[in-house]
Amino acid sequence: MKQVFCSLSVTLAYVLFIGLAQQAHSQSVVSIPDFHAFNVGWVGIGNELEPPISGLGPVVAHPDYPYISNAQAAQTGEDANFRIADLNNPILQPWVVESLRVQNEEALSGAPIFDGKVRCWPPGVPVFLLRPGSPMMILQTVGEVFILLEPNHEVRRIALNIPHTDNPAPSWHGESVGHYEGDTLVVDTIGLDDRSFIDNYRTPHSSMLHVVERYRMIDDGQMLEVTVQVEDQEAFAMPWTSIRRFHREIGRPFTERVCAENNEFYFGFDLPPIPQDDTPDF
């Protein structure tokens, strides 16, 4: 399987080279960033959407219950816990506050608060960006950008320089279109399935969710910064913004991680089943 993936990587790298060369040949095209130069992967810092420098931001931890992961607990001796959301964020519509309140009570009572990713369900957007510890790769061609995650081989496809289709059918990752603005890749996503969550606090959203991401390299290319703008009038009282950063990692293998074949044991908790399709693809 690794040999197959290596062949695919070489093919995509060749397509990437040809695509970038063709774009660079056009005098009307502004020089675009190369997010995958020299086999670069991007590893997320932490596992939260970070607040913006100014303005309204995402759901964060309740100040009385900071989140302690299992890894952090092993290092510090603190007690690990599930996430407890701060309900005082003014962005939240009442029904979202109630949903988070119920989850907070369950978490405080010791009930498991896992999201669908741990059972192989697609993550959705923007929580797609919250996969720490494993690389995210960005492959660029003339007409399309692919964002790849190692866990479960999740793929987002971003069509370049075209408008959205009329009324796209809702899906886990929605319909993404993009374009370059100088050194920044701008990705506009609609048509998102409301079964996913916004973040690791399991903040719900509606099918009206509209997400705009801006990808750019900072710190001389050593960091990738993604500014995420979220709008959903049914779930949020107003638009809000968050930041997600990744550090550059060169040459790390993109390993095979098939969720359904390698699902972890989650402490004996009764979790939702792994998705299964009994209908063949042909």
* 194-210 per-position pLDDT tens digit: 999 999 999 999 999 99
Q: Determine, yes or no, domain membership for 268.
A: no
Per mean pLDDT, which range of 42-51, 58-67, 149-158 is the poorest? 149-158
Mean pLDDT, to the nearest integer, of 234-261?
A: 88
Could you write out the DSSP letters of every residue in 222-254? TEEEEEEEEE-TTTBSS-EEEEEEEEEEES---
The token duo for 90 is: 């003014």
Give the pLDDT confidence score for residue 2 in this predicted structure.
Answer: 42
Query: Higher pLDDT residue, 35 or 150?
Result: 35
Q: Is the pLDDT of residue 249 over 50?
A: yes
Give the pLDDT confidence score for residue 175 in this predicted structure.
Answer: 97
- Among 158, 170, 240, 166, which Cα is nearest to 206's? 170
- Among 151, 175, 148, 180, which Cα is nearest to 164's? 175
Q: Is the pLDDT of residue 12 over 60?
A: no
Render pLDDT for 87-124 as a digit per residue (tens, 0 to 9): 999 999 999 999 999 999 999 988 877 777 777 888 89
Q: Determine, yes or no, domain membership for 8.
A: yes
Model-level pTM?
0.83
Mean pLDDT, to the nearest integer, of 68-72?
A: 84
Q: Is the pLDDT of residue 14 over 60?
A: no
Give the pLDDT confidence score for residue 269 in this predicted structure.
Answer: 63
Domain that holds residue 165: 2-261
Query: Higher pLDDT residue, 255 or 22?
Result: 255
Q: Determine, yes or no, domain membership for 266.
A: no
Q: Is the pLDDT of residue 261 over 80?
A: no
- Among 127, 158, 140, 124, which Cα is nearest to 23's? 140
CA distance 130 to 216: 17
> Residues with Cβ < 8 Å from 273, sequence gap 6 or more?
119
Q: Determine, yes or no, domain membership for 207.
A: yes
- Among 87, 42, 73, 44, which Cα is nearest to 221's? 42
Q: Determine, yes or no, domain membership for 278.
A: no
Could you write out the DSSP letters of every residue in 49-83? PBPPSSS-----B-TTS----HHHHHHH-PPP---
> What's the pLDDT band for 268 if we cut at 50, 70, 90?
low
Q: Determine, yes or no, domain membership for 35.
A: yes
> What's the pLDDT band for 266 if we cut at 50, 70, 90?
low
Q: Determine, yes or no, domain membership for 274.
A: no
Give the pLDDT confidence score for residue 122 in this predicted structure.
Answer: 85
Query: Higher pLDDT residue, 248 or 11?
Result: 248
What percent of the chain is helix, strand and coil (3-state, nearest 5)?
20, 25, 55
- Tokens 């999201």 correspond to 115
Mean pLDDT, to the nearest integer, of 218-222?
A: 93
**pLDDT cut 70: percent of the chain above it:** 85
> Residues with Cβ < 8 Å from 267, sequence gap 6 or more?
112
Query: Higher pLDDT residue, 35 or 119?
Result: 35
Give the pLDDT confidence score for residue 279 in this predicted structure.
Answer: 83
Residue 268 identity (one-letter amino acid)? G
Dihedral sign for Cα atoms in the order 69, 91, 213, 100: positive
Tell me how many domains the chain contains.
1
Q: Is the pLDDT of residue 15 over 50?
A: no
CA distance 165 to 179: 16
Beta bridge partners of 147: 138, 156
Q: Determine, yes or no, domain membership for 269.
A: no
CA distance 230 to 237: 11
